[in-house]
Amino acid sequence: MKQFRKLFEANFKSTFREKAVWGWSIAFPVLLMVIFLTIFGGLNDGDTSFEANIVTVMDEPNELASNLETILKHIPMLAWKKDSPVSRKQAEVWLKDKKIDAAIVLPASPDAKSVELLLNKEKENSTLSQIMSGIVNSILQETNNKIAEVTPQLFLQTKFISSGNDQLKYTDFLVTGMIALSIAQAGLFGMVSLIEMRRNGLLKRMMVTPITMKTFGLSISLVRLILSVVQILLLTLIGVLFFKATLNINILSFLIIFIVGTISFSALGFMITAFTKSMDGYMGLANICSFLMMFLSGIFFELSILPSYVKPLSVISPLTYFANGIRDSMVYGLGILNTHFWLNIGVLALWAVVTFAVGAKFFKWEA
């Protein structure tokens, strides 16, 4: 116990003194979460998150054009650059200068067959163009039904069902994803102290002392767990207090996935130390792993939107299963009897065993 206590104290000090640990394991996840929540946090809060600045073009005033303009002005998502219609030339100039998002060219006569939607070419495949096209098409369909005196027989009603809280929102999704990411970052970048210990010969000298490598490894693992607890508490408090995240935590499943995940990413960090000789090499390889997993593991968005040729990378990423496990236990309240829980645990455990075995095989104790 005395050896363990001394090793723990030394590892604790070396870990929390390291700027890379504070930067990548604490500051980076907090900053990233705050940025994303500030931008996208209101997606499901009942507030209008989309707004387009538009104008209308009416070459010849007529009843049909006036009726369409009246309908458009009752849509809260549309902000008006100018209340009255402008010329097409003026609308095109504003579009090119990006002073407006869209211009709607209303029918020139009651017999006109089309309405034009003018958008900036740079936004051809953007969400703005899709939403504006949907809005205009919906209005035209409703107008066509009225002109033809057709009474719609079918209406769409959309309901969202979740195994978690009924108030589930993007904030909950992102906060738990960032918790998983921060723990992964701690494992990947937290082993940087081994590089320095190997460089200055400390590891080599430690081999001739009574200290066992098991005791040394346990002390490092305990420090990793403490760092992860700090991350969880900090990110959860920010999410709940400032962004109104709603959590439904299953304590047992959360503790298990947390411990297994922490060990898994620590083992991955250990493997990286086996293939790098310097701090720069370690940070470079850890950064590559971090950024690949960050955007391919469902931290910021659902994996279903990824291209089909990218999805296989998501399937093998350990962060995918760790993020799913953290969300299942913190948002949906799923317990250990759920099949997804054991899938996540199994994949993470496999990554831990394989990466630790590879790291132990190739790790050199001498510089």
Q: What angle do CA 125, 128, 134 make, to 5 degrees?
A: 95
User: In the beta sheet, which residues pair with residue 54?
Assistant: 80, 102
At residue 250, the pLDDT reads 93
d(CA 172, CA 344): 19
At residue 293, the pLDDT reads 92
CATH (residue range 52-147): 3.40.190
State mean pLDDT over 108-130.
Answer: 82
At residue 342, the pLDDT reads 95
- Burial per residue of 304-326, b for 16 or more beta-carbon CB atoms within 10 angstroms, e otherwise: eebeeeeeeebeebbbbbbbbbb
d(CA 311, CA 322): 16
At residue 42, the pLDDT reads 56
Q: Is there a contact between 95 and 129 (Cβ–Cβ < 8 Å)?
A: no
Categorize the per-residue pLDDT at 46 as very low, low, confident or very high, splitting at 50, 70 and 90. Answer: very low
Categorize the per-residue pLDDT at 50 as very low, low, confident or very high, splitting at 50, 70 and 90. Answer: low
At residue 280, the pLDDT reads 86
Q: Rounded to 5 degrees, what are φ and ψ at 80?
A: -105, 125
Share of the chain above pLDDT 70, in %: 92
Residue type, 251: I
Task: Compute the CA torsion angle 230, 235, 240, 246 (nearest 10 deg).
Answer: -100
> Lowest-pLDDT range, 114-118, 164-168, 226-230?
164-168
d(CA 205, CA 53): 68
Q: What is the mean pLDDT of the chain?
A: 84
Pick from 256, 276, 273: which is nearest to 330 by CA? Answer: 256
Tell me the pLDDT tens digit for each residue of 139-170. 888 888 887 878 777 776 766 566 555 557 77
- Contacts of residue 13, defined as CB under 8 A and 6 or more positions apart, other chains included, come to none
Look at strands 116-119 and 102-105 and give their pairing: antiparallel
At residue 16, the pLDDT reads 80
At residue 48, the pLDDT reads 46
Position with higher pLDDT, 344 vs 189? 344
Tell me the pLDDT tens digit for each residue of 327-367. 999 988 888 999 999 999 999 999 999 999 998 888 877 76
At residue 218, the pLDDT reads 80
Q: Is there a contact between 272 and 285 (Cβ–Cβ < 8 Å)?
A: yes
Pick from 81, 90, 78, 92: which is nearest to 120 by CA? Answer: 92
Residue spans in the chain of domains classed CATH 3.40.190: 52-147
Share of the chain above pLDDT 90, in %: 28
State mean pLDDT over 197-201.
Answer: 81
Tell me the pLDDT tens digit for each residue of 293-333. 988 998 888 887 788 888 899 999 999 999 999 999 998 88
At residue 278, the pLDDT reads 85
Position with higher pLDDT, 45 vs 1? 1
Categorize the per-residue pLDDT at 90 as very low, low, confident or very high, splitting at 50, 70 and 90. Answer: very high
H helices of the chain, in order, are 2-17, 19-21, 28-40, 63-72, 88-96, 127-147, 170-190, 192-199, 202-206, 213-243, 251-274, 279-296, 311-316, 318-330, 339-362
Read off the pTM.
0.74
State mean pLDDT over 38-48.
Answer: 58
